[in-house]
Amino acid sequence: MKVWKFGGTSVGAPERMHSIANLINDGEKKIVVLSAVSGTTNTLVEISKLSLKKEFEAAKGKVQELQNKYLPFVENLYSTAEGKSKGSSILEEHFSLLKNHIKEGFSEVEEKLFLAQGELISTKLFTSYLQEIKMKAALLPALDFMKIDEENEPILSFTETELGKIIKQHSDIELFITQGYICRNSKGEVDNLQRGGSDFTATLIGAALYADEVQIWTDIDGMHNNDPRVVRRTYPIAEVSFDEAAELAYFGAKILHPTCIRPTQERKIPVRLLNTMAPKEKGTVITQKGSGNAFTAVAAKDGITAIKIKSTRMLNAYGFLRRVFEVFEKFKTSVDMITTSEVAVSLSVDNSKHLDAILTELSTFAIVEVDHDQTIVCVVGNFTAEQPGMAIKVFAALKEIPVRMISYGGSENNISVLIDSKYKNEALNAVNEGVFFAENISV
Ligand code: ASP
Ligand code: MG
C-alpha cells in the first residue's frame, strides 16, 4: 500500500483534479490524502473570525463569495448531468451548513467545524469525479480514524486499528480518498492537526499502515539544496536522511513541517517529494540512511534575536547556565543556537513575544546585550568528527561575512552560523558556491 498526498494547488481547479486522477490511476492500491482547494482554509479562518466577532452579515457574504469560487468545479469537473448534479448537491450541503451555523452562540467548536469544510468538499468532489469516470474509488472519512489526545497529539494506535478495520471492509477497492488535516479531539469534536497538517495526516496514515512509501505531491520539484528565490544555482536533492530533513524543515525549508516527518521516521518508511506539474521528475526521497554526501543542503531562518548574557559574578560560577535556562523555561521560549565561553553565553531565539520580560529577569544577575534582525544559516550534511575539512569549507566561503555566532558539533548533521540578516543573500550564495561547487573557492 502507498499513501499519496496532494496539496491545495494540486486540487485547486477542475483541470488539476483531472490530472491527478490520471496520476493516481497506475494500477497500484493506494490511499490518497487531499488538502482543501487552495485559499479555502484561509477564507474559512476569516469567516470564523468574523462570526466570533458577531459580524454575521459580513461572514455570510464571505461564504457566498467562497461558494461562487466553486461553481467552475460543477461545470468543468464533471461531464455527465448526473456528475454535475452530484457536484451541486455536495456544495449545497457544505455551504448551507456554513450559512446555518453563522449565528448567535458561534464558538470555537463551530470554528473548528468550519475549518474542516475545505477538505470535506475537495475529497467529496474528487471522489464523485472518480466514480463518474468509473474508477474503483471509495471515500474514507478521516473523522472516523484520525484522533488527537488532550495534548493535541495524534493517537497513532487509534488510526492503526480503525483504519485497518475500514480497509478490510473494502477489499475490492483500489483507490481510497481521504481528508488531510482534519480529525476528532478527545471530546469527540471535529478538530484539526494545525495549519498545513495534511502532510502530517499522510505520514501518520503511512506509519499506521506500515506503507511502502508516502508521496507528498506539491508544485515544486522536491527539496532544493538552497533557497532558489535568493540563490543563483540550486538543484533538487535526490536523497536526504530523516535527520537532515528535520534540520532543514526546522531551519526554514518550507517544504515539510518537522513534526510530520516523525511518524515515518520511527517506522522507517520513505517519504518522496514530487511535483504534480512535472510528474516524471525524480523529486527528493527522504530515507533512513540518506545519501551519505558530505554536504546536503543549506537553509536559512530569519527573524532571529541574539542575546549575549555575561555573568556578573567571578569565573567558574556554577549554576549560571541553569539560572539562564530557567528564565527561558519560565517564559516558554525555546532556544535555537547556543555558544558559551567561561564568562558569557550567547544564544538565539525566534520567538520574541516575551523578550522584554526575559531580558528584565536576566538583568538581575547578568549583563545582557541584544541584537535583532539576525539570520541563522544552517548547513546540513554528514559531519562526523572523524571527517576533517568540513567546517573550514563553510567558513572559508563566509570569509567576507561578519559572523555573530557559530554552532558546530551539536549534531552530526548541522553547522550553523548566525549573521545579521542584511548579509543573508550574500552568505547563502557564498556558502552555495563554496560547498556545492567547491572548485570555485580557495581555502
Ligand atoms: N487545508 C489546511 C491548510 O490550509 C491543511 C493543509 O493544506 O495542509 O492549512
Ligand atoms: Mg500545504
Series of mean pLDDT values for 10-residue runs along the chain (443 residues): 96 97 96 98 98 98 98 97 98 98 97 98 98 96 98 97 96 95 98 95 98 94 90 94 89 74 94 94 94 93 96 73 95 94 91 96 95 96 86 95 94 94 98 85 50
Say how many Å lie between the CA of residue 43 and the centre of ligand 1.
12
- Of ligand 1's atoms, which has the minimum distance to the CA of residue 42? 4
Ligand 1-lining residues (CB < 6 angstroms): 7-8, 35-36, 41, 118, 180-181, 195-198
| Domain assignment present for 268 | no
Query: For a pocket test of ligand 1, which of 121, 181, 183, 191 has the largest count of ligand atoms closer than 8 A to its C-beta?
Result: 181
Say how many Å lie between the CA of residue 135 and the centre of ligand 1.
26
| Domain CATH for 321 | 3.30.2130.10
pLDDT number for residue 316: 62
Query: For a pocket test of ligand 1, which of 48, 195, 255 has the largest count of ligand atoms closer than 8 A to its C-beta?
Result: 195
d(CA 242, CA 413): 11
75 and 173 co-located in one domain: yes
pLDDT number for residue 24: 97
Altogether, the residues listed in the chain come to a count of: 443
166 and 301 co-located in one domain: no
Domain that holds residue 190: 2-219
304 and 429 co-located in one domain: yes
| Domain assignment present for 263 | no
pTM across the whole model: 0.87
| Domain CATH for 119 | 3.40.1160.10
| Domain assignment present for 254 | no
- Of ligand 1's atoms, which has the minimum distance to the CA of residue 119? 1
Element (H, E) at 419: strand 414-420
319 and 171 co-located in one domain: no
Domain boundary (195, 219, 243) is at 219
276, 215, 202: which is closest to 16 by C-alpha?
A: 276
* Single-letter amino acid code for the residue at 89: S
| Domain assignment present for 228 | no
pLDDT number for residue 384: 84
pLDDT number for residue 256: 77
pLDDT number for residue 76: 98
Residue 36 DSSP label: P
Ligand nearest to the CA of 116: 1
Nearest CA to ligand 1 atom 8: 196
Question: What is 166-214 written as a DSSP string?
Answer: HHHHTTT-SEEEEESSEEE-TTS-EEES-TTTHHHHHHHHHHHTT-SEE
304 and 209 co-located in one domain: no
- Of ligand 1's atoms, which has the minimum distance to the CA of residue 7? 7
Instruction: Tell me phi and psi for residue 372, to 5 degrees.
Output: -95, 175
203 and 66 co-located in one domain: yes
264, 260, 269, 4: which is closest to 137 by C-alpha?
A: 4
Ligand nearest to the CA of 36: 1
Query: Is the distance from CB of 333 to CB of 324 less than 8 angstroms?
Result: no
| Domain assignment present for 240 | no
156 and 49 co-located in one domain: yes
* Single-letter amino acid code for the residue at 249: A
Number of domains in the chain: 2
Residue 341 DSSP label: -
Ligand nearest to the CA of 35: 1
Query: Is the distance from CB of 264 to CB of 206 less than 8 angstroms?
Result: yes
- Of ligand 1's atoms, which has the minimum distance to the CA of residue 36? 1
87 and 194 co-located in one domain: yes
Write out the three cell numbers for 419.
549573521
Domain boundary (192, 219, 246) is at 219
169 and 77 co-located in one domain: yes
CA atoms within a 13 Å half-sphere pointing along the CA-CB vector of 245: 30
Domain boundary (193, 219, 245) is at 219
